[in-house]
Amino acid sequence: MPKVTISSSKGLEQTSGSGFSVSDVELVRSSESITPTSASYTVTCIADDPADSLDDDSFVIYAQDGESYGIWFDVAGTLAGSAPGVSDFELEVAFASGATADAVATAIKTAIDADTGTITSFGNMFTVIRVTNVLTIYVNETGALTTTSVVDSAAGIEVDLAADGSAGDLDEDLECSLVSVGNEVSTLNTTVALASGSSVGQKKNIIFASAANGEVNVGGALSNAGSAAVLLSLTTPGASAAGAACLVWNGSAWVVTNTSNVTVA
C-alpha cells in the first residue's frame, strides 16, 4: 500500500505503507474573500425646468420581493394626493418650481426618510444616501432582487440598478470564506447564503472581517448543539470586529463545531 508524504526537502513522494502526511510544510487551505453588498439603485436628479417641468413625472424602483415603489413629483403642491397609479406603492415628493438638481435630490431623500408609517413604507424599505444631486437608494431587505428592471422618469431623471444583491454567496466547496460588508450604510445588514455540502466530513471555516458598514449574516442549513439553525451573525459587530465559525457537513446540515464572536440562530 502506498503512503503519500509531502515534505519541503522531497516534495511529493509515495512510499510503502499507508497514510497521507504533510510533514514540514503548511497545508494551505482553499479560500475566498468576498464583500457582499445590498441591492441598490443610483438616481441622478436633474433641475426642474418650468418649461419642461418634472410635475407629475415619476420613476419606479423595486423592493427585494418585486413589489414596485413609485416616486412621483408634485411641483408647488398643485397635484397633492393625485398619485399616478404606476406602482404598488407610491410616494409624493413636493418641491418648488425651478428647484435645482440638488434640491430635487434632497426632497426625494427627505420624503423617503420621513415615510415610516407601515412596514411597507418607503422609509422602512429603502435607505438613501445623497451626494449633491445623486442618490444611492439601498434596498433594506437582504437577498437578490426578484425584479431587476427600473422605470426611468420621462423628464430625464436617470435611474440605474447599481447592485442586484445577488453577489456574495459563499462557495461551499472552498474550505474558508473571508466575508466583509461593503455597504455605505452602517445600519444596513446583508445576508449571504451557504449552500449544502457535498461530502460528509467536508469542512468549512467562515471568517467575518471588519463590519464597519453593516453586519453580514450567513444563512444555510445549520445544526448547532443538536438543534436546527439557519443563520450565523457577529455577536458584537463593529469597525474592528472579527469573528469565525467552524463547520463540518454531516450529510444533511453544517454542524457548528466552534465559534468566536458569532451567534447561531
Identity of the residue, 21 or 132, whose beta carbon is nearer to other proteins in the bound complex:
21
Among 76, 150, 193, 207, binds other proteins (CB under 8 A): 207
Identity of the residue, 58 or 224, whose beta carbon is nearer to other proteins in the bound complex:
224
Least Å distance, CB 231 to other proteins, is 17
Identity of the residue, 64 or 177, whose beta carbon is nearer to other proteins in the bound complex:
177
Site for other proteins in 237-256 (CB under 8 A): 238, 241-246
Least Å distance, CB 156 to other proteins, is 46
Site for other proteins in 81-110 (CB under 8 A): none
Site for other proteins in 163-182 (CB under 8 A): 173, 175-176, 178
Size of the site for other proteins (CB under 8 A): 43
Q: What are the C-alpha distances in Å from 83 to residues 16, 30, 235?
A: 81, 54, 44
Site string for other proteins, 185-204 (x = CB under 8 A): --------------x-----
State whether the Cα torsion 161-163-164-165 is positive or negative.
Answer: negative
Q: Which stretch binds other proteins (CB under 8 A): 113-121, 158-166, 217-225, 236-244?
A: 236-244
Identity of the residue, 4 or 94, whose beta carbon is nearer to other proteins in the bound complex:
4
Characterise 226 by phi-psi region: left (phi > 0), alpha (psi -120 to 50), beta (else).
left
| Side chain identity at residue 143, one-letter code | G
Least Å distance, CB 215 to other proteins, is 13
Burial state string for 2-24 with b = 16 or more CB within 10 A and e = fewer than 16 = eeebeeeeeeeeeeeeeeeeeee
User: Smallest Cα–Cα separation from 220: which of 186, 243, 200, 247?
Assistant: 247
Place of cell 442549513: 221
Q: What are the C-alpha distances in Å from 171 to residues 34, 71, 166, 205, 248?
A: 10, 38, 13, 11, 14
